[in-house]
Amino acid sequence: MKPIARPVYLNLFRIHLPLPGWVSILHRVSGALLFFALPLGVWSLSVSLSGDAGFRRMADALAHPLARLVLLGLVWAFAHHFLAGVRHLALDVHWGTELKRARQSSLAVMLVAGLVTLLAAWRLFT
């Protein structure tokens, strides 16, 4: 008997990813973003503590809307990575692994991370 020819979709634009899948891939994307932001953060901290001039240079840089937009992006990345990470730890100890609850918790991760980002946007841009 010949095997049935099944469609194999490895095209990212044709794969339908369920919500827990989005939480998972965004956990990875946000983690990578945070890694690339780390040297910038450490350098900024070092300059801001180097003296009065360095502190003012960093404060001025952070007043720029573009810098605040980057900061906002990092707030989202941190919030998502944190919440999705806590969710993964819970799944590791077999808490919330039933399909329904796993879907609910992934929706909660997306919503709370979005809410935190909105609050940060309000704080940064008003």
Partner 1 sequence: MKSATGSHTGTGTWLVQRATALVLALALPALAVYFLRALPADFADWQALFAPLWVRVLLLLTSAALALHAWVGMRDIFMDYVHHTGARLVLYLGVILTLAGCEIVMIMTLWK
Binding interface with partner 1 (CB under 8 A): 28, 31-32, 34-35, 38-39, 42-43, 45-46, 48-49, 51-52, 55-56, 82, 85-86, 89, 92
First to last CA, the chain: 68
Nearer to partner 1, 38 or 69 (CB): 38
Q: Give least dist CB 119 to partner 1, A.
A: 12
Scan for tokens 């469609």, then name that residue: 7
Position 49: which residue type? Answer: L
In contact, 71 and 100? CB cutoff 8 Å: no
Q: Give least dist CB 126 to partner 1, A.
A: 15
